[in-house]
Structure 1
């Protein structure tokens, strides 16, 4: 199987990428979003139209109503010529309005008190930075919210020459369970099922080819000639390249991994604005290769053309890959470039998830765990890692925030977000959907249990169990993910997914092995020679 680019094929590069992918887990974007619903006269349709904008506010001091009722609409007064840090000379204009002002240098409390004294119904602070919840206190009785400068300009454009815009601030009820969780569940379970299945099949083919080589060597040593058909030669070529790409994980590598994962997460926490661009660069490299790895088998089936490039000295092409492989590689690069250019657009999550699924599947095919002992060590250590950085680190940080949550979401005011996760926008109407806030599942929550699923499928071939370990581990992962989502709904805060995924998958596999009397074989990854085909 031709791989592209060559740089990614080195084991050191793969391990570095995996350390970053394992760093992040599942979380929801944190914050206190609300909605500014505007009503204006649209000259195109000759009637009133509405549009909603994302705002940030403090829900503790000034909670917003759940519904945007018609009588509660108020005139939107544009006073972005002032920061309202002191009472303006024409303060009477503010009475009964939602007044939009600049951020300025004074506190939000100061702006709120000035507007409240003038009789305003609310203060909209226009900011060039990210929309966050402003710090308030009980002395301010009217809502003080943040609105982006871009949204404010859009409101002014829609107001037109008459400058007549009305608005209402509200925050609708958020459903406990959103349908986007079903989308994430299907993507995650499908990814580990495909990746784990591919891992087991590849391992089986490698072992089968290895036995053929051993028999051929024995025959050659005895002096008997043996013909080799073209199909065997083709299979040997493909499996040899897969074998060269694969990485077998040992307990020593697991320990090194976990230590480096700790270091990478802390680097992201303290130097996020710089390290995030390194992660994005590495992600683009890994995503290119992942998509190419997934498309290559499909491409060979659709276009069974094995013509290779002529001899050349062009970097990455000197190994003479097939023309089909080069075309697929260029298509993968174009897809990643498209995501990079449009990564801040509303539709970019579709591109990101497509690349993420391809990448995870390719990794699950490439990475092999030697035995269940290694699986248990890896999942156990990352189980502790996940709990520590989600639940324990808030006790040590000065603002009481989880290190994992801060890294996964980028924190307040972050311009870029770590791309190594699956994201799906809210499908039900709420402030989260208006503010383009996504539900997230980190690659680590797919790859870590997925490695166990891949080992289970490999073990199925060894004991000829009709895929009972593979199917059971996939079902256990799906159940564990459902439990994670239920915990999210009940606790309304980010959850360490491995807290639920690890017990579900590990205990299920061990229970199956105990029933079949294969715990020792499963643990060591070895079966008696008269009982296996691998």
Structure 2
């Protein structure tokens, strides 16, 4: 793990705990938490091989429609069924997901203190009576799952905002680390579609805000405020993960060219400006804002201007991560040439 990422991890942990001991301005907390989460997720996504889950153009175009269907379904569930019943089912679902995400986030730090065999040797476990179903895991993953399980038990019992945020950060970091847009074209399609999606569901219907307030699960970050009428400010994980995977792609594009983080700095700066703009407008109008309305133009705009300025528009648009060679493949080709 790079030193900058380690520092960001420490800062992120400290920022999560800070409101427990000092008075942290919720607006500043939103900006710093969102930006540090994106930063950590981006650097964790830089690996010898590209992320395994790559989004196609077709998936990117369908994503806003699928997201709309899921959002509307949740709205109807909360409207016609008991909120306690729906949230109880969702708690069970996110309990399992939370263990996996929390363990995966801790794993790189834990692996350094465990035997190498524990990190590499796979254990295959078959379901009783369903032998065709199997799980592959390492002993290191089991060790990492222990604190993950304990933490999720605390979350399920207390539903404390800090537990919610830690799980939300784990989901966000894993999403940015594991997902790939494949190309900037796909990224532009996805962000443009969700730009419209966010505006429609926040400004033209009560659905988004209603679901966000009713949904008692770590799909949003909560920031304590001094306002008794509005005890928490909220930021949806989608406002972190979706632009975050675009920023991560910019970082991996820089790495593939063997250069410093040029376009990553542009994309990350655009993200920070977008989040700050959201906070300013939200406080000005005292109303919920679709964060992607401000984040998407800022991220794409900063990268586009930088790209045009450098004359790199063609290589950037032609970049396809699925065709990028892994470090192992490059090393194998170089060894063949030497032979």
Pairing 1:424–2:223 present:
yes
Q: Tell me the equivalent position of 2:140.
A: 324
Q: Is contact 2:123-2:139 (8 Å) kept?
A: no
> Given the superposition, is the C-alpha separation of residues 503 and 307 from structure 1 closer, same or farther in structure 2, using an over 3 Å criterion?
closer
Larger helix proportion of the pair: 2
Q: 1:463 to 1:496 in 2, by over 3 A?
A: same
- Counterpart for residue 336 of structure 1: 152
Q: Which residue of 2 aligns with 1:377?
A: 189
Gap change, CA 1:256 and 1:526, over 3 Å in 2: closer
- Aligned CA RMSD, in angstroms, stands at 2.7
Q: CA deviation digits over 1:460-481, x for unaligned, max 9? A: 1222330111122112111111
Structure 2: segments with no counterpart, 5+ residues? 1-23, 331-339
Residue by residue, what CA displacement relative to the aligned partner does 1:278-297 show, whole Å, maximum 9, x if unpaired? 44333223221111111111
Q: TM-score, normalised by structure 1?
A: 0.51
Alpha-carbon displacement from aligned partner over 1:184-208 (angstroms, at most 9, x marks no partner): 2111101111111221x12xx116x
Give 2:55's aligned residue.
249
Counterpart for residue 213 of structure 2: 409
Aligned to 1:364: 176
CA distance in 1, matches of 2:137, 2:194: 38
User: What CA distance in whole angstroms lies between the structure 2 residues aligned with 1:305 and 1:459?
Assistant: 31
Aligned match for 1:261, one of 63, 67, 78: 67
Distance in 1 of aligned mates of 2:61 and 2:88: 27
* Contact 2:75 2:210 (C-alpha < 8 Å) held by counterparts: yes
Query: Residue 40 of structure 2 aligns with which residue?
Result: 194
Q: Deviations over 1:186-231 (max 9, x none)?
A: 11101111111221x12xx116xxxxxxxxxxxxxxxxxxxxxxxx
Q: Distance in 1 between matches of 2:70 and 2:136?
A: 36
2:301 is the counterpart of 1:497: no
- Structure number with larger C-alpha Rg: 1
Q: What is the distance in 2 between the residues matched to 1:390 and 1:403?
A: 7
**Kindly tell me: are residues 313 and 408 of structure 1, through their superposed partners in 2, closer, same or farther at Cα, counting changes over 3 Å?**
closer
Please list the CA deviations of residues 321-341 of structure 1 after superposition, one character each: whole Å capped at 9, or x if unmatched.
433321211221221111011
Partners of 1:280 and 1:360 lie apart in 2 by 18
Secondary structure at 2:289 match in 1: coil
* Distance in 2 between residues matched to 1:311 and 1:362, nearest whole Å: 23
Residue matched to 2:6: none
Cα displacement (A) at 1:302? 2.8
Q: Do the aligned partners of 2:55 and 2:182 also contact (CA within 8 Å) in 1?
A: yes
SS at structure 2 position matched to 1:206:
coil
TM-aligned CA distance change 1:322 to 1:441, over 3 Å: same
Give the Cα separation in 1 of the matches to 2:293 and 2:92. 30
Do the aligned partners of residues 461 and 417 (structure 1) sit closer, same or farther apart at CA in structure 2, a change above 3 Å counting? same
- How far is the alpha carbon of 1:378 from its aligned partner? 0.5
Aligned counterpart, 2:110: 299
Number of the residue aligned with 1:520? 314
Give 1:14's aligned residue.
none
Per-residue deviation, 1:307: 3.4
Give the deviation of 1:419 after TM superposition.
2.9
